[in-house]
A and B are shown apart, each in its own frame.
Chain A
């Protein structure tokens, strides 16, 4: 198929960017979206132009590195996938595809479609851990039974890949699905409950400091999340923060 691409180009974080049109031809429907981008870049390199910079790494939907806003949706129109798992069969010959970086004040553009998501790391530094030494001299792994239900729910929250689609999608650029997932994972496990109050306070404070917006419960993040992280995690975080006041 032949496609027109409208892509955000921006030289570096200080430069002013703009949308630029490109044409690609003979795209196979079996290609992944990023393979289509590879084709475009090969074409640009051969023509002596600068290729489009975009983040990607594992290309199997788990590292969370890829991050494009495609036709008005984070990771494109398919559900439950990252951009690297999006396939060209979702598009038709002659389509125009708009490709932008994830937008949020807390995710400044580094170049073209590459954004800086280290705000997420800083939130994790603030409390995304259990304060246990890595010496291995801890109690036996089976010393505290954990109900299967709690373990499964914690696992569901823990599957977050930190891609930032929630922030990109949210009209308020809120990071609450991301933070809620991490808070929930630990809140659901007995190991995490010891420092639950400090954790949620510190992580929320850092989240606010980073300039993420406020959740207005539109639920868009949950729909666009490639890992299906549930909105219930935000409710749980709210509960945890309220609990932490007393």
Chain B
């Protein structure tokens, strides 16, 4: 089995498995974010649960981090290997004749997403870690804020139009990444020919609805913040 993951196809499968995991995570993240549009209170409750539940904090969170890091590092490794496999580049190459731009440039859409994740970490994750693990404050409340602090923090982040713009750009690239990545992951896992059309349709829907949803949520909070 360890030999399997060293093979080219094993690596593809590993990429696909981490992608599945990340896509499920994305769906979950989106669902919680969506709550913030309907009710700040429910959003706060769920956020506090996610932020303090030991299973999520000490099991799921490390797995998620591993998944993200693995997907990126494996992506880079494969990209480098693949470049090497080509050897000499063509003087003239008409890639558009036989494949989509997104399928050929997953590394670039991936890099944009990576940059966004860094921004996201600076915005949310580092402060969370700081509050919980360095300052040891697991209360979920903040001075001067009524109830839990999460909804308040969320809205505050979307005040700045530059951040919203960056957010939108990142999610457009995520959509592009998913437009190829979704079906590609299934293909790597050996999806049968009969399911191809269905998977393509689900893939398209997922790749457009989820990132578009994130963008709409961001815009909603930008235009509707209470402060």
B136 at the interface (CB under 8 A from A): no
18 interchain pairs, CB-CB under 8 A: A103-B90, A105-B84, A105-B87, A172-B85, A204-B9, A208-B7, A214-B8, A214-B82, A215-B12, A218-B99, A218-B180, A220-B103, A230-B193, A235-B187, A235-B188, A235-B193, A240-B190, A241-B4
Pairwise interchain contact A73-B98, C-beta atoms closer than 8 A = yes
The 3 closest A-B pairs by CB, nearest first: A72-B94, A213-B85, A239-B190
CB neighbours of A219 from chain B (8 A): 98-99, 103
A43 at the interface (CB under 8 A from B): no
Pairwise interchain contact B104-A235, C-beta atoms closer than 8 A = no
CB neighbours of B10 from chain A (8 A): 241
Interface residues of chain B, those whose CB is within 8 Å of chain A, are: 1, 4, 7-13, 78, 81-82, 84-95, 97-100, 103-104, 106, 180, 183-184, 187-193, 196
Give the residue name and chain of the B residue nearest to A168 (CB): B90
A67 at the interface (CB under 8 A from B): no
Give the residue name and chain of the B residue nearest to A200 (CB): B9
Interface string of A222-241 (1 = CB under 8 A from B): 01100000111011111111
A194 at the interface (CB under 8 A from B): no
Min C-beta distance of B142 to chain A, whole Å: 45
Pairwise interchain contact A103-B88, C-beta atoms closer than 8 A = yes
A114 at the interface (CB under 8 A from B): no
Pairwise interchain contact B86-A173, C-beta atoms closer than 8 A = yes
Min C-beta distance of A154 to chain B, whole Å: 14
Interface residues of chain A, those whose CB is within 8 Å of chain B, are: 6, 8, 19, 69, 71-73, 77, 98, 100, 103-106, 169, 171-174, 176, 204-205, 207-208, 211-220, 223-224, 230-232, 234-242, 245
Pairwise interchain contact B99-A223, C-beta atoms closer than 8 A = yes
Pairwise interchain contact A171-B95, C-beta atoms closer than 8 A = yes
CB neighbours of B91 from chain A (8 A): 6, 8, 19, 98, 100
Question: Could you count the A-B residue pairs with CB atoms below 8 Å apart for me: how many are there?
Answer: 143
CB neighbours of A236 from chain B (8 A): 190
Distance, CA A212 to CA B85, complexed state (A): 6
Partner of A220, one of B11, B87, B98, B184: B98
Pairwise interchain contact B103-A217, C-beta atoms closer than 8 A = yes
Pairwise interchain contact A235-B191, C-beta atoms closer than 8 A = yes
CB neighbours of B100 from chain A (8 A): 218
Pairwise interchain contact B97-A72, C-beta atoms closer than 8 A = yes
Beyond contacts A104-B85, A235-B187: 13 other A-B pairs, Cβ-Cβ < 8 A, are: A72-B90, A72-B94, A169-B98, A171-B95, A173-B86, A204-B8, A214-B78, A214-B82, A216-B103, A218-B180, A235-B192, A238-B187, A242-B4
Given A169-B98, A220-B99, verify A71-B190 contact (CB < 8 Å): no
Min C-beta distance of A107 to chain B, whole Å: 8
Min C-beta distance of B41 to chain A, whole Å: 44
Distance, CA A232 to CA B82, complexed state (A): 21
Distance, CA A244 to CA B93, complexed state (A): 37
Give the residue name and chain of the B residue nearest to A231 (CB): B187
Distance, CA A174 to CA B189, complexed state (A): 17
Distance, CA A69 to CA B86, complexed state (A): 14
Pairwise interchain contact A217-B187, C-beta atoms closer than 8 A = yes
Given A220-B95, A220-B99, verify A238-B188 contact (CB < 8 Å): yes
CB neighbours of A224 from chain B (8 A): 98
Partner of B92, one of A98, A218, A234: A98
Give the residue name and chain of the A residue nearest to B97 (CB): A73
Give the residue name and chain of the A residue nearest to B4 (CB): A245
Most buried by B among A211, A216, A237, A242: A216
Min C-beta distance of A106 to chain B, whole Å: 7
